[in-house]
Amino acid sequence: MFRGSIVALVTPFKSNFEIDFDAYGRLIDFHIEKGTNGIVPCGCTGEAATLSHDEQKKCIRFAVERIAGRVTVIAGTGSNNTREAADLTKYAKEVKADGALLIMPYYNKPTPAGQIAHYTTIAKAVDIPIMLYNVPSRTGMNMDPKTVAELFKLPNVVSIKEAAGSVDQVSQIKSLCDIIVMSGDDSLTLPMMAVGGTGVVSVAANVVPAEIADMCAKANAGDFAAARAVHYKLMPLFKGLFFETNPMPVKAALARMGLIENVLRLPLVSMSEPAYARLEPILKDLTHLPQ
């Protein structure tokens, strides 16, 4: 389940800022056609922070029903409020999501003891496979490898999306426990897989799903030379999708590809023209956009 290319799916909006479920469905079908191994609705790239809980539940249900068992669905159910995270995770279980992705509580900055209490409460409340999500750039706190190892003792904590930007951290985690590690940084996916990771929860897969799935498949098969060729080809995109705050660049890219409208909810706005001018040549090179 936690292996290969899992896309951190954007949430498409209409010009009135309502969720565009027609576009959402097309994106899901696009990913399945291109070989994506799994889909995360309502993660950070999906702008979960500006979705109401009702909207989040609708997106999770829609994704599960549209996918209909064709690939894995790992629902984004994290929150900095433990009760809210537990409620969303219970809902994901109810609608038959395959797993839940839970970001470490942001803003609160809990200590390791608080992190353990947060995840333990949710894991004991809901019998669903849980992927921890460590992203210090968003939460303000790093999840220590010892904390990860402690949480792995919970039967349904099975994986971590590791986005601390450190291959060394992945090495420490894998030296302490056998939790499944997936990259949370596209540019570090291949290095992380070299030290025991199994794939990526990817932003770039929104734009180049077949290529990310291919890179992960090659690495998981032990063909790192072939995987490196894909990695180096995609490096400009990995960097370009973070010229400004995610998901501003990836939504601009998908709009340029004709897949969604380039609409974000405040406080995020569309990518600036100077930054997009740097991104578009990368997109043209990788996605065969018309000149």
How far, in Å, are 36, 41, 266 from residue 48 at the CA level?
21, 9, 12
| 28: nearest Cα among 67, 65, 75 | 67
- H or E stretch including 72? strand 72-76
Determine the 3-state secondary structure of 49 from DSSP: helix
Determine the 3-state secondary structure of 208 from DSSP: coil
Evaluate whether 238 touches 205 at the Cβ level (below 8 Å). Answer: no
Please tell me which residue in 161, 174, 218, 251 is annotated as part of the active site. 161
Please tell me which residue in 91, 133, 174, 218 is annotated as part of the active site. 133
Give strand pairing partners of 199: 4, 182
Catalytic (active site) residue 232:
no
Q: In the 8-state DSSP scheme, what is residue 35?
A: T
Q: Which long-range contacts (CB under 8 A, 24 or more apart) does 115-118 make?
A: 115/141, 115/143, 115/147, 115/151, 116/147, 116/150, 116/151, 117/82, 118/82, 118/85
Catalytic (active site) residue 124:
no
Give the Cα separation of 165 and 75 in Å (integer): 23
Give me the active site residues, please: 133, 161
